[in-house]
Structure 1
Amino acid sequence: MGAENDLHRSLFPRPVPDQEVVLSGGALIIEEVVRVARGHVAVRLDDAAVERIGRSRAIVDDLVARREVAYGITTGFGEFAHVSIDVDKVEDLQRNLIMSHSVGLGDPLPHDVVRAMMLIRAESLALGVSGVRLATVRLLLEMLARDVVPVVPEKGSLGASGDLAPLAHMVLPMIGLGEAFHDGKRMSGAEAMAAAGLKPITLGAKEGLALINGTCLMSAYGALLVHDAERLMANAIVSGAMSLEALEGTDQAFIPEVSLVRPHPGQTRAAEALYALTQESGIMQGHRDCPKVQDAYTLRCMPQVYGAVLDAIAYVRRVVAIEIRSATDNPLVLSGRGGVSCGNFHGEPLALALDFLTMALSEVANMTERRIDRLVNPHVSGMTAFLVEAGGLNSGYMVAQYTAAALVAENKVLAHPASVDSIPTSANQEDHVSMGATAAVKAARVLDNVWKTVAIEYMCAAQGIDFKRPRRAGPGVEAAHAVIRAHVPRLERDRVLAPDVGTIEALMHDDAVVQAVRSAGFGLDVRLDTGAVPTPTIPDHPTPDPVKHRKVGGGTH
C-alpha cells in the first residue's frame, strides 16, 4: 500500500472546486477530467449525446435481430473472431468477456486515475458510435456521482487493444462482481453498488466490448500528468531562480534578446519568467562587477532546457486533449455500415507522447540535482560546506544531495521508452501493441521523483539565500523563500531532514509557493498555446436500414 499511497500523493495533491461537467461527446477537456477525478463534480449527458446513444444502440439491436455476423456482437473475440455466437448467447458472451479479461495484477490504481478513466470511457460512449444502451452510460456516471471506485490493478495492459484488463476490472462492479472502494472502504463490487443504492446490470450485445476496448487508462494518466507537469514546471522555474540567486549567478543569459534570436516558445516563456523573478535583486546587484565571465550550464541554460520541457509538455497536452474526446472502440457502430472493424483502440499516439513526457521530466531532475550539488559544494558555491555551520560536527545537507542523486538515477532507468517494445498476443492476431500503459505508469513515477527533487532544491536554495543576508533576492524569489521559511526553519544544526522535504513537497502540491510568487506580481504562466484541438466529426445515425448493413467477418478487440 506504500507505493499506492506515494503515487496517489504525486498525482492527486488536492481537491478541486465543484463544477458540473456536461458530456456532449467530442468536447471533453483536460481540466474537466481533473475536476471530476479529484473532486465530487456532477456529470451528465446532454440531449444530443442521449439521442446519439439511442440511435447507435438501435443499429446494434437490429444487427442482433437480423442475426448479422458482426465482430464482438455475434462473434467471439481476437483469435475467436471467426466463431459465430447464437443470438440467445450474446449476453453470456459479454459477461464472459469481462470476466476472462479481468486478469490485472499489482497494487490498485489511485482512485483519481480510475475516476478519470471512468469519465473518459463515458465521453467516448457519448459520441454514439459504440452501440451501448443509455442506461449503461448513466450507470457509469452514477458510480462517479456516488463514489463507487472500482479496484483496478496497475499491471496488465498492453495499450492495444486499448487498456483491456484495467477496463475489465472497472466494469466488474457494474455487473455485481469484482471489488470497489466506497466511502473510503474497500469491499466487494456487489456490496459497493448496494451501499451506493445502485443495481448491477446485465450487459447487452456489444456492451462489454464497448466498455473495455479503449485507451482510457492511458488517457486518464495523460490528462492528470499533463496538468501536474505544468504545475511542477512553475515550481522548477522558481526553485531554479532561487538557486541562481544563492549561487550568485547572473540574469544576463535571460534577457529578451537572447530568445529573440532563437524563438522556441518554451525557451522564450522560461526566460521571461526567470528574468522577471530575479529583477530588483540586491544579491545580484552586489556582484554585478565580479570577475566571473559566465555561469555553469545548469544556471545559464535553464531557459533552453526548461523551455524544451515546456514545449514537450505542450505536445503531450495536445495529444491527450484529442484522445480524451475521441472514440477508441472497435468495432465502431456507424450509420449505414453497421459494425466497422478498425484500429482506434491502438495506444501508439499516447505511448509515444508519454515516453516523451517521461524523458522531458527526467531532464528537469537532472538539472535540478546538479544545482543542489553546487549549492552544497563549497568549492563552487563560495558558501559554508553543506550549508551548515560547525561542519564536521554537523553534516548539514550533505545527504540531501545523495537522495536527489538516487531519484535522478531511478529516473534514468524509468526513462527508457516503453513504446519501443511490442510483444504479439492473441495467437499473433494482435501482433503489435503500444505498451502505452507501461509508459503512463513510468511517467507518473518519474513525475513523483521530480517533485521530490525540486523540493530538495527549494530546501537547499532557501538555506543559501539565508547565507546571503542582509542582501535580499528579487521580490519573486523572496516571496517563495518566505513561504518555505514559514513552514521549514533555517538549518542551524543537524536535524531529521526527511520531514522538511515532505513539508516543502506538500507546499508545492498545494500550489502555496507558486501562488505566493504570483501574488507578488509574477505570472508564471508555463502553459504554451497548443492551438485549436480537433473535434471528432460525429456521424449522423439514420433509422437503421438493414439493407445497408454489411457483414463484418473478422477483427481483433
Structure 2
Amino acid sequence: MIQLTGNTLTIHEAKRVLFDNETVEISAKSMEKVIASRQAVERIVKDERVVYGITTGFGKFSDVYINSENVEELQLNLIHSHACGVGDPFPEVVSRAMLLLRANALSKGYSGVRPVIIDTLIQFLNAQIHPVIPQQGSLGASGDLAPLSHLALALMGEGEVFYQGEKVDASKALADANIQPVTLQAKEGLALINGTQAMTAMGVVAYIEAEALAKQSELIASMTIEALRGIIDAFDEDVHIARGYQQQVDVANRIRQYLSDSQLVTKQGELRVQDAYSLRCIPQVHGASWQALDYVKEKLEIEMNAATDNPLIFNDGEKVISGGNFHGQPIALAMDFMKIAIAELANISERRIERLVNPSLNDLPGFLSPEPGLQSGAMIMQYAAASLVSENKTLAHPASVDSIPSSANQEDHVSMGTIASRHAYQILLNSRRVLAIEMICAMQGVEFRGVENMASLTKEFYHQGRRIVSSIVKDRVFSKDIEALSAWLCAKRE
C-alpha cells in the first residue's frame, strides 16, 4: 500500500503503483489539510468574494463574476469545453500515472477540493479504471488542460475508460466497480485540470523505461565488445577517475564487472592498439546520458509532489493567490534533455551495429550472414537502425523553445512540455528497437567467437536473449525478431 501525502511520492513508489498495480490511500494528516482547504472555498462562495476560478470565469474571462447559484454549472462547462484532446490515447499506464499524480497533488491541501474528489481518483486507481485520454492538445501551461479534462470527464461518469482489458463507457465501468460518479462543485473542475500531470505522467513512465534501457544498453554493449574482441584497458578505473564524472566511472565499473571473466576481450596491442570510439568511449557517452537521466529524475520527483493548481489556498483561505505553478517549463526542459540522452544511446548503438556487420571493419562474416552473398544476414537490420536513429534526431528538436500565445494573449508564453514528453517516449521506443538490433547482431557475433568463451554474466544474458530470438541460420523476416526482443527488453525492467 502506497500512502499519499502530497510531499513524499518517489519514482520507485510510482513504479510499484503503475507496473505492479499496488494499491493507494491518502494519509489521515493530508486529509485534514484537504478538509480545511475545502472549508475555505465554501466560505469564499458563501461570502461572495471575487476569487479567480471560484467565483469568476477562466483565462480571459477572469474578470467575469459568477453568482453562487451558477458555480456548479461553471465547473461542468469548464470540463466540457476544455475536453478538446485529439489523436491516439496515451498508453494506459500513462493514464494510470495521471490519476496517481493528480491525487497526490490534491492531497497537499492547497486546491480546495472535497475529499470525495481524491477518494474517487484513488478508487479509479485501485479498481484499475483508466480514463481514455487523447495525447494531443496541450500547450503545457495553464496546466495540461485538455488531457486532464478527459480525466475529469471519467470521474463524472462521462467519456471512455480502459477497464478489464477493454475500452468502455466510463458510466459502465463505474457501475460495474460500484463507484459513484462525482458532481463537481466550486473550484473542483479547475483543480482537476490546472496542473502538469499529463506531461509529468508521460515523463515518469518514459523515465522508468529509459532507466531500464540504459542499464540494458551496457550489457548489450558488453556483448558487442566480446563479439569484436574489444580492448578492455579503455575501461580501467584510473582512466575514468581522472575525468571526474561519477556516472562515467560507474558505467566503466559495470562494463568491467560484466566482462570480468571473458576470454574474448583483448589487451592493448594484442590485436590492435585502440578501438573505435563507439567501443572505447562507451563510459563517456553512456555516462553523460546517465547524468541527464539523474537530472530528469530529480525534476520529476519534485514535480510529482508539487502544487500546480491555480489559485492556491493558504492560511485557511485568508490568502488565496493566483500564480503560475501550472507552467510546465521545468518539466519541458527536463523532457527535452531526456530526449537527447536517450537518442544518444541509440546513436552510439547504431555505430556499434555497423562495426558488427561491416566486413571492412571486422573479421566476422559479412553482415553476419550464414552464407555471405546468397543470404543477406543482418544487412538491412542496420538500415532499420539507421532509420530509427535519424527519426530520433528530428524528434530530439527541443519543444520547449516554442511558444504560441493563447486565451486572447492572456496566456502569452507556454511550455509545450507535453509535446516534449510525448516525443521523449517515442524516442525511447525507437531506441529500444535499435538496441534490440544491436543485441541480435552481438549474439550472432559471439557465436562465431565461441559462446563458451564469453563472460559469465554476458553468457547468461545471451542465453536469455536466445530464448526470444533464435540464431540466424537462414534469412527470415527479421522484423518479428526485432519486435519480439524489443518487447522482451521492455518487460525486463529490473
1:233 aligns with 2:204: no
1:414 aligns with 2:414: no
Q: Sort the Cα spacing of 1:182 and 1:389 in 2 relative to 1 into closer, same or farther, 3 A.
A: closer
Give TM-score, length-normalised by structure 1.
0.86
2:34 is aligned with what amino acid?
A: I
Distance 2:370 2:182 in 1: 67
1:325 aligns with 2:335: no
1:344 is aligned with what amino acid?
A: N
Q: CA deviation at 1:471?
A: 6.1
Q: CA deviation at 1:223?
A: 1.4
SS, match of residue 161 in structure 2: strand
Residue in structure 1 matched with residue 85 of structure 2 by the alignment: 104
Residue in structure 2 matched with residue 33 of structure 1 by the alignment: 14
User: How many pairs does the alignment contain?
Assistant: 493
1:215 aligns with 2:196: yes
SS, match of residue 487 in structure 1: coil
Contact 1:283–1:471, Cα closer than 8 Å, also in 2: no
1:229 is aligned with what amino acid?
A: A
- 2:366 aligned to 363, 382, 385, which one? 385
Give TM-score, length-normalised by structure 2.
0.97
Contact 2:156–2:181, Cα closer than 8 Å, also in 1: yes
Contact 2:56–2:64, Cα closer than 8 Å, also in 1: yes
Q: CA deviation at 1:470?
A: 6.8
Deviations 1:421-454 (A, max 9, x none): 0000000000000000000100000000111111
- 1:168 aligned to 135, 145, 149, which one? 149
SS, match of residue 3 in structure 2: strand
Q: Sort the Cα spacing of 1:152 and 1:487 in 2 relative to 1 into closer, same or farther, 3 A.
A: closer
- 2:116 aligned to 105, 125, 135, which one? 135
SS, match of residue 96 in structure 2: helix
- 2:246 aligned to 265, 269, 291, which one? 265
1:402 aligns with 2:416: no
Structure number with greater CO (CA < 8 Å, separation at least 6) is 1
User: 5+ unaligned residues in a row in structure 1: which ranges?
Assistant: 1-19, 516-557
Contact 2:225–2:265, Cα closer than 8 Å, also in 1: no
- Alignment map for 1:159-198 (pairs within 5 Å): 159-198=140-179
- 1:334 aligned to 304, 307, 314, which one? 314
Distance 1:143 1:508 in 2: 29
Q: CA deviation at 1:284?
A: 2.3
Residue in structure 2 matched with residue 305 of structure 1 by the alignment: 285
Contact 2:381–2:437, Cα closer than 8 Å, also in 1: yes
User: 5+ unaligned residues in a row in structure 2: which ranges?
Assistant: none
Contact 2:111–2:311, Cα closer than 8 Å, also in 1: yes
Q: CA deviation at 1:277?
A: 1.6
- Alignment map for 1:51-200 (pairs within 5 Å): 51-200=32-181
Contact 1:105–1:154, Cα closer than 8 Å, also in 2: yes
Residue in structure 2 matched with residue 540 of structure 1 by the alignment: none
SS, match of residue 378 in structure 1: coil
Deviations 1:509-531 (A, max 9, x none): 2328xx7xxxxxxxxxxxxxxxx
- More displaced, 482-491 or 370-379? 482-491
Q: CA deviation at 1:487?
A: 3.2
Q: CA deviation at 1:314?
A: 0.3
Deviations 1:79-121 (A, max 9, x none): 0000000010000000000000000000111111011101100
2:366 is aligned with what amino acid?
A: A
1:473 is aligned with what amino acid?
A: M
- Root mean square deviation, CA, Å: 1.4
Residue in structure 2 matched with residue 533 of structure 1 by the alignment: none
Q: CA deviation at 1:291?
A: 4.9
SS, match of residue 199 in structure 1: coil
Distance 1:110 1:509 in 2: 14
SS, match of residue 186 in structure 1: strand
2:275 is aligned with what amino acid?
A: D
Distance 2:126 2:469 in 1: 39
- More displaced, 123-132 or 188-197? 188-197
Distance 1:445 1:49 in 2: 36
Distance 1:373 1:302 in 2: 15
1:359 aligns with 2:315: no
1:140 is aligned with what amino acid?
A: L
Contact 1:332–1:340, Cα closer than 8 Å, also in 2: yes
Distance 1:354 1:470 in 2: 40
Contact 1:34–1:116, Cα closer than 8 Å, also in 2: no
Residue in structure 2 matched with residue 476 of structure 1 by the alignment: 457
Contact 2:174–2:181, Cα closer than 8 Å, also in 1: yes
